[in-house]
Every structure is written in structure tokens, then in C-alpha cells.
Amino acid sequence: MAWQEKGIGLLSIPYALSLGGWSSLPVFLAIAVICCYTGILLQRCMDASPLVTTYPDIGALAFGRRGRLAVAAFMYLELYLVAVDFLILEGDNLHKLFPAAAGFRLGGLRVGAKQGFVLAATLAVLPTTWFSSLGVLAYAAAGGALASVVLIAAVMWVAVFDGVGFHERGRLVHWAGMPSAVSLYSFCFSGHAVFPMIYNGMKDRKRFPMVLLICFVVSTLSYGFMGVIGYLMYGDALMSQVTLNLPPGKVSSKVAIYTTLVNPLTKYALVVAPIAEAVEAALGVRKSRLLCVLVRTALVVGTAVVALAVPFFADVVALTGALLSCTATMLLPSLCYLRVRAKLGYRKPWLETAACLVIAAVGTAIVVLGTYSSVKQIVQRLK
């Protein structure tokens, strides 16, 4: 899932840094190292059985049927909330692009401009979810790396050539915002669900650790660079997405926003597809084209309802990062590996065991504190 979260992470990382202050950067780096290491733990679990091809398979290998269901539940719920994040992102950035847009009435309901943009984005992505073959969208989504480069370059252009500069000093530490900052950092590195598929698709599996390391180094550098320049540009005035701070009317700002808008439109169907396939399989309707379309339409409508009801981008991303991403990247890999190792009677190096237990403890702390902080923020905003 790293490809769909890369864009969201780049947009929110400056805001995360503003929440925690400069002292949260070592925490960001520590999370990157932990998530890279737990990726290696997943590889070791896959090496333990040739039948393991997916993340839920690892859960089943470690804890049986309950383990499979638990891993699948966290995976699908995370994907669902990422789809919600996409719609909120579209609404926020379209409103930034067209601030003069007016609301309208839909029956007896008054629909605000930003809500209208969310509905428009929903209608735009809905047909893309009806296709069983997503090959074209997959190629478009693969351009996410290029889109990330364009986004970073556009923000840099705003700072260097459009007069914003790097004049903000920021704060050294902000303890009250640290749980939310750590939750947003955790969201950035949640790609573990696709690691088994990547590993099984490699011709030379021995190169997986090196490939994983390179990916994490590149991701960490790009996230860190965006976070630092964004914080130096806008300091504590940063909004949930750095594009919302960019000066209106500038070509570079429009490039950044348009790049931000295109990404979710190509990736939304890819995010929803695994959930839809699981629901269709559970209901036994895979052979009925009409019923499959209805299932996928219901899922899209559901994400739109949540996006309209809880239109708080940073808080929803932080909740996703704390409750789901952290569980998938820290808790589950550590616990599954310890369980698989014990079941197969592997030698138990004390340092490895200690590392897994420490990671599980850190993950638990982030899940509890981050989830509490995110839910509290959402409840306060809804009042």
C-alpha cells in the first residue's frame, strides 16, 4: 500500500513536523528504521512456508484462522480509510483551487462548496471502480513516484522563486502535538500489506532486503525533505496539507495542486478493489456483474458519507496511522514472527527477541496514545 500512501504522506508530513516540533524528527527516523526491520521479519515468516503468499497468510501461519481474519480486517479497514482520505483531499484541494465556488441545494439539504467538491470527486471515481480489470489505472498509479518528484519540485519553486522563502524557525518540541505527529509519521511507512506479493514476485528473492532498504531510504529522504522545507516555509501556520498553504494564483501552486488532485483519481479504484473483492467473495456474488457493481457502488457511497461526516484530513490520517498502520507495521509483524519462530522451533537469539518485544511495546504505545488523541480531536471538531 506504499504507493497510495506516498502522496498523502508527502502532503501531511510538514504538518506532522509542525505538530511535534524539530525534536520529532528523530522519532520519524526511528519509525522508518523500525518499519524497515519489520519488513524483514515478514520476509522471514514467508521463508518459513511456501504456502505464504499474502499478509493474511502470515497471520494464519502464526495464529491460525483468527490470525488471518485479524490481519485481513486491519488491512481492509486501512484501505477503506485511505479511500476516505482521498475524497477529503480532493474536496480540500479543489476548494483551494476554486475558492469562489458557491454551495448549492440538493433537495432540502444545503451543500457547501467543499462538500460539493467531495461529491464531484465521488462521482468521478465511481465508474472506475466498476471495472474488473484495473490494468490502465495500475500503470497510471505507477507514475506516483514521478508525481512525488513534481510535487516536491513545485513546493521548492514556491519557496525559492515565488517569494515565500525559508524564514520560519518553528519550535524545538511541542509535547501536546507529539501523539498526532507520531501517528502521521506511522502512516507514511505503511506498505507492509504488499510486501509478500512483491517478495513472491521477485526472481531473486535474496535481493529483497536490499530492495526494501533502498525503498525505505528513498522514502525517508523524500518525506524528510518535504517536511523540513514545508516547516521552514510556513512554521506553525501549516495546514493539514502543505498545498493548502501555497499562494493562490501562482503557476507552481497550481502544478502542485493539480498533481495532488490527479493521484487519488487514478488510485482510488485500486484501493477499493481488494475490499470489494473480499465482500463479493463473502456474499458469493462474484459471478453476477450487476451485483458486483452494486457492491462497489455501496462501498464508494460509504466512503463519501464518512468523508462528508468527518471532513478532517489530518485527524483521519492520524487515526489511520495510529490504529491501523502502526498495527500492520509494528505490532503484527513482531508478534507473528515470534509466534512462527516458536512454532517451528527456531533458535531464539535474545537480542532478536528483545527487539521484537520493544517494537511491540512501542507499537502498542503509539496505537493507544495516537488513537486516543485522534479520536479526541475528531470529537472536538464535531461539536
Task: Tell me the pLDDT tens digit for each residue of 7-28.
Answer: 788 999 999 999 999 999 999 9
The chain-wide mean pLDDT, for the chain, equals 90
Is 337 inside any structural domain?
Answer: yes
Is 372 inside any structural domain?
Answer: yes
> Does the structure show a pLDDT above 70 at 241?
yes
> Does the structure show a pLDDT above 70 at 2?
no
User: What are the residues whose beta carbons fall under 8 Å from the beta carbon of 3, sequence distance 6 or more?
Assistant: 141, 142, 144, 191, 267
Is 321 inside any structural domain?
Answer: yes
Residue 335 sits in a domain whose CATH number is: 1.20.1740.10
- Please give the residue range of the domain that contains residue 200: 7-382
Is 326 inside any structural domain?
Answer: yes
Query: CA-to-CA distance for 255 and 248, rounded, in angstroms?
Result: 11
Task: Tell me the pLDDT tens digit for each residue of 43-85.
Answer: 999 999 888 888 999 999 999 999 999 999 999 999 899 999 9
In this structure, which amino acid lies at residue 73?
A
Is 112 inside any structural domain?
Answer: yes
Q: Which ranges constitute the DSSP H helices of 162-288?
A: 178-188, 195-201, 208-234, 251-283
Query: CA-to-CA distance for 59 and 43, rounded, in angstroms?
Result: 13
Is 1 inside any structural domain?
Answer: no
Is 2 inside any structural domain?
Answer: no
Query: CA-to-CA distance for 134 and 2, rounded, in angstroms?
Result: 18
> Does the structure show a pLDDT above 80 at 144?
no
- Cell 512483491 locates to 198
CB 319 within 8 A of CB 183: yes
Task: Tell me the pLDDT tens digit for each residue of 310-360.
Answer: 999 999 999 999 999 999 999 999 999 999 998 887 777 888 999 999 999
Please report the sign of the dihedral spanned by the C-alpha atoms of residue 205, residue 214, residue 267, residue 239: positive
Please report the sign of the dihedral spanned by the C-alpha atoms of residue 47, residue 49, residue 53, residue 57: negative
Domain count, the chain: 1
Is 238 inside any structural domain?
Answer: yes
| The model's pTM | 0.91
Query: CA-to-CA distance for 224 and 9, rounded, in angstroms?
Result: 10
**Grid cell in block for residue 179:** 501523539
Task: Tell me the pLDDT tens digit for each residue of 83-107.
Answer: 999 999 999 999 998 888 877 877 7
